[in-house]
Structure 1
Amino acid sequence: MKHFSKHLMIGAAFLAMTAVVPATFAATPNDQLVIGTSLAQLLSLDPQQGTEPKTLEILANTYDRLVHFDSEDNFAVKGQLAESWDIDDTGITFHLRDATFSSGNPVTANDVVFSLVRLLKLDQSAAAGFKTFGYNADTIEGLVSAIDDKTFRIETTDAITPDALLYRLTNGVASIVDSVEVQKHINNDDYGNEWLRTNAAGSGPYTLNRWTPNNIVILEANAQFWGGEPAMRRVVFRHAPESQAARLMLERGDIDIANALSAPDVRTFENKDGFVIDQVKTGGFYVLAMNAGHEALSNPLVREAIAYGIDYQGIGQTVLGPYGRARNVPVPEDWEGAIANPDWSFQPEKARELLAEAGYPNGFSLTLKTIAQAPRVDLATAIQANLGEIGINVRIQQGNGADIVASHRARDFDLLLPQNSAADPTAIGALDNFTNNPDNSLEANNAGNFVWRSAWDIPELHNLRAEANRERDAAKRLEMAVELQEKFIAASPAVLPLFERFEPIVVNARVVGYEGHPWSLTRLDDVTKTD
């Protein structure tokens, strides 16, 4: 019997605190959840800094946001710390519930102000989404205010509609931190960043017990959580980057969920009783980033040749499998406003003709950088083979999350394989990462900007996207989204979507109540486990 489900079910347990896979383990206890995953990209637990998918799942359980969206209810925005909110012509006023941080301090509107000001003042890549909407370090303090302890207000800018701002506030980077606690740990005006990188100061259903890099993260149930103490007393994120080892651990019952398996290992669970497979649609993409600062890659003809030099369907079937589907337009194909895919099928002869027209009849060599985890290593190998057929010699350089992310942000690459998520669950939100680059100069040092990292100067696309963000007429905004997609394809993008990205998760069917979130903001407070 094949088991597929839209709603995941997982269970839990507490393992020995080591990265080495032990020979045997008892079944995981009913009040503990163990997740086998890759912690390679877990670089910081500061919610105004950490943006990688595995980081976000930890932050989603140690912090609250004002609001969240429900992917099972047509992306409806619902309250978290905010019980209600009022929208007017110039801003949004939020009314907060009674809640306390894990420290025992009450959650107040001053904490919300502090958190959003902190996000923009730190001015790291996590702030990029709010900067797109006209908020920055110089203006943020004048745009947010605490009316009283339980009432917070944020003014809209002329670059954003209130609905889009609500979605932006559902992002993990808008998590609310305990301002009283964080201010005790400020060092050299760092807004408490050094301390928050390895500690937690939130009001979420869990508190941070331990984090050992590339080994383990342990969360403990927060007895003071406003939603009631979670059923799972402890949650363990176990570093299990080797897919085969993680598969064996899941089969033995040593872990309850695996979310970093290779496509073949995911498929081994299709006919196994007692397991559930789900493909969470992330709204994001696996992307081939091309550095347009490289002489050859600055040429649109070369970029178009590369687009025709990749076997999307073949890679999708043999490598990606449950991890995604071929898609070269940066809006998921089943979202409102999405256009049809261009004809960028594998056409090596046409690709070689484009290279010759661009002045490279004999091809050239490039280095492709990738994080060493599934499925990106296999994806890189397949792209290497494809591009070799059109005369581009590709050398693959693997690295850990810190190394590859740093190279991406520093424009230190030829080709690179990042992944991303939609800024908001709308066509315009999906396009944000791909069409936003206000200043392409090296001096701008806008490392938080996805397009800037590829040195791709796109003033026409940028201005049209900004205009669409300001448009309050939904029909007109959708027309602009269509136009943006068409112009994006015509420009032979340096940030080339390869595959719409899914997150395949395999779980033990004993667990009830787990629902994978498109942005990895998966809350675990409602998870229970059956015998």
Structure 2
Amino acid sequence: MKLFRTALMASALALPLAAGAAYAATPADALVIAQNIDDIVALDPAQAYEFSAGEINANLYDHLVQYAAEDTTVLAPGLASEWTADEAAKTITFTMREGATFASGNPVRAEDVLFSFKRVVTLNLTPSFILTQLGWSADNIDEMVTIDGNTVTIKWDGDFASAFVLNVLASRPASIVDEVLVSEHVEGDDWGNAWLNTNSAGSGPFVLTDYRPAELVRMTANENYFDGAPAMKQVLIRHVAEAATQQLLLTSGDVDMAKNLTPDQIASLGDGVKVEAFPQAAVHFLSFNQKTESLTDPALWEAARYLVNYDGMTESFLKGQMEKHQAFWPKGFPGSYDETPYYYDVEKAKQILADAGVETPITVTLDVINSAPFTDMAQSLQAGFAEAGINFDILPGTGAQVITKYRDRTHEAMLLYWGPDFMDPHSNAKAFAYNSDNSDDNYTATTTWRNAWAVPEEMNEEVRAALAESDQATRNEMYVELQKKVQAESPIVIMFQAQLQIAMGENVDGYVNGSNSDFVYYRLVTKD
């Protein structure tokens, strides 16, 4: 039995009908999606921090500069048509795009940029740290962001290259909102936050026309979008928590796309449906806490890299979900290092341990989130490492339990994943290659500190130098070299990069899903 239909009615998508009604295919100019969207807490770009919220905001708002839907590895002009960086003065001056308007019809002005950034740092909600790391605050924002006619000058305080600052300005909290429209909906001192959590005030290719928590998101095309109106006049995202229901809706033609199918369901799809795979920014790793004496020998770190059955996992239970990747910055973006020199070789691992005089057996507790595929990965690691005399006692727990233990540095070995807060390689270099203060009372949200790895000062300096390097090509090379060093000489064994499989009708083309939720674009979608 089909569970609901979506039919064109008065230029809008109809709500679900009762079981037993007559059903129709989705409209030719509407994209209908089944997706679990119950993670949404907020939609205001000054507050939104969840994956689903990121996808929605990417289609509602523009930035001064942004990663292009046509190529999500290219940082392209957005609401700024051009810019000039002054590295010495630590400024970038942007020229606003001529003729750009918000979906409301209001012109996009330099004043909207200042307003947008000011409301983020003043509200000081979860993602504000991405902007405040530039030295911005509610007290100084008027000095750090200045306007002159149709130009905006951005200033920062810190040893940052302009390339890093540009990536910060391409992040979600740097979305530009319509000051005139938002100001009409301010309640007290909320800067329009309550209204923006159920409405939109952007210049992007779509407008939010309906949002019902844990039920649906409806977006309508912005016909005046500066980069061309979308072919899809509407995008309807239906909250469907159960993967089996998503599969049924897709195969029966009631939706065009299902985003949360399991590998088994993907494998069982029949005719009329295609599957596209998209590498994601999250990297999965095994790490060793350096507070545990038996895990401090670099020979053990090296041997561990040959005890992971990379191909065995990616060709079986991880098939379609992850691909082999052994560096801290995900492939698909400038500065990534994509070589995978390590492979499963028990005898080589044994020889490394023997040559270094490492005594085995060693018993280690391994903390892991108690859900697939993490428990399956842990069992594979347990089997492989046991061959070389390293015995994992698997300790499953909830995500909150595992991460709390990791933050407290009370684990021995940890199986976990990491994704960047914004798409600049420094976001991950700081996490995997930097730790200038390893003391217990210096809590730092990095894998290095959480594993009590006192990073060599030479590597710390290389991270700082890469952050400050003004030449982008040189900067990328510096991050590649850092990844090579971490890959070979750290207690963190990076194994995989996540991959997202999305099933859709064969008639759907042009869907763009970059390496994280901020790069999901519907503007180029067509349906034959």
Per the normalisation by structure 1, the TM-score is 0.77
Asked if residue 35 in structure 1 is aligned to residue 36 in structure 2, the reply is no
1:129–1:168 contact (8 Å) kept in structure 2? yes
Aligned residue in 2 for 1:264: 264
- Paired AA for residue 464 in structure 2: A
Q: Which region of structure 1 is more displaced relative to structure 2, 34-43 or 184-193?
A: 184-193
Across the aligned residues of Structure 1 and Structure 2, the Cα RMSD in angstroms comes to 4.4
- Secondary structure at the aligned position of 2:232 is classed as coil
Distance 2:276 2:369 in 1: 29
Distance 2:253 2:430 in 1: 41
- Paired AA for residue 35 in structure 2: T
Aligned residue in 1 for 2:479: 481
2:288–2:491 contact (8 Å) kept in structure 1? no
2:181–2:201 contact (8 Å) kept in structure 1? yes
Gap regions ≥5 residues in structure 1 = 1-10
- Secondary structure at the aligned position of 1:276 is classed as strand
Aligned residue in 2 for 1:510: 507
**1:312 Cα deviation after fit:** 1.8
- TM-aligned CA distance change 1:231 to 1:487, over 3 Å: closer
- Paired AA for residue 251 in structure 2: E
1:36-435 to structure 2, matched below 5 A, reads 36-70=34-68, 75-89=73-87, 90=89, 91-97=91-97, 98-102=99-103, 105-121=106-122, 126-130=127-131, 140-148=141-149, 150-155=150-155, 157=157, 159-182=159-182, 193=193, 196-222=196-222, 225-226=225-226, 230-269=230-269, 273-282=271-280, 284-288=281-285, 290=287, 292=289, 299=296, 307=305, 309-332=307-330, 338=337, 340-343=339-342, 345=344, 347=346, 350=349, 361=361, 363-369=363-369, 377-387=372-382, 389=386, 390-398=390-398, 407=404, 414=411, 415=414, 417-421=416-420, 423-424=422-423, 431=429, 433-435=431-433
Per the normalisation by structure 2, the TM-score is 0.77
**1:440 Cα deviation after fit:** 6.1
Distance 2:128 2:408 in 1: 19
Deviations along 1:87-141, one digit per CA (max 9) or x if unpaired, are 4454322222334445555432222123234444555563455566665667654
- Paired AA for residue 417 in structure 1: L
Aligned residue in 2 for 1:5: none
Instruction: Give 1 or 2 for the bigger CA radius of gyration.
Output: 2
1:285–1:421 contact (8 Å) kept in structure 2? yes
**1:471 Cα deviation after fit:** 1.8
Deviations along 1:33-68, one digit per CA (max 9) or x if unpaired, are 112223243333232343444322111112111222
1:263–1:323 contact (8 Å) kept in structure 2? yes
- TM-aligned CA distance change 1:179 to 1:498, over 3 Å: farther
- TM-aligned CA distance change 1:81 to 1:362, over 3 Å: same
- Secondary structure at the aligned position of 2:320 is classed as helix
Distance 1:441 1:124 in 2: 28
Q: Which region of structure 1 is more displaced relative to structure 2, 352-361 or 28-37?
A: 352-361
Aligned residue in 1 for 2:4: none
**1:424 Cα deviation after fit:** 3.7
- Paired AA for residue 65 in structure 2: V
Distance 2:382 2:265 in 1: 27
- Paired AA for residue 510 in structure 1: N
- Paired AA for residue 178 in structure 2: D
1:308–1:346 contact (8 Å) kept in structure 2? yes
2:301–2:491 contact (8 Å) kept in structure 1? yes
**1:316 Cα deviation after fit:** 0.9
**1:338 Cα deviation after fit:** 2.1
Distance 1:308 1:140 in 2: 50
**1:80 Cα deviation after fit:** 2.2
- Secondary structure at the aligned position of 1:39 is classed as coil
Distance 1:296 1:179 in 2: 57
- Paired AA for residue 382 in structure 1: M
Distance 2:525 2:216 in 1: 20
1:422–1:432 contact (8 Å) kept in structure 2? no
- TM-aligned CA distance change 1:65 to 1:444, over 3 Å: farther
1:333–1:340 contact (8 Å) kept in structure 2? no
Distance 1:333 1:428 in 2: 14
2:46–2:173 contact (8 Å) kept in structure 1? yes
- TM-aligned CA distance change 1:136 to 1:465, over 3 Å: farther
Asked if residue 498 in structure 1 is aligned to residue 499 in structure 2, the reply is no
- TM-aligned CA distance change 1:386 to 1:273, over 3 Å: same
Question: Percent identity between the aligned chains?
Answer: 31
- Secondary structure at the aligned position of 1:92 is classed as strand
- Secondary structure at the aligned position of 1:315 is classed as helix
Q: Which region of structure 1 is more displaced relative to structure 2, 474-483 or 294-303?
A: 294-303
- Secondary structure at the aligned position of 1:65 is classed as coil
Q: Which region of structure 1 is more displaced relative to structure 2, 508-517 or 348-357?
A: 348-357
Aligned residue in 2 for 1:3: none
- Secondary structure at the aligned position of 1:481 is classed as helix
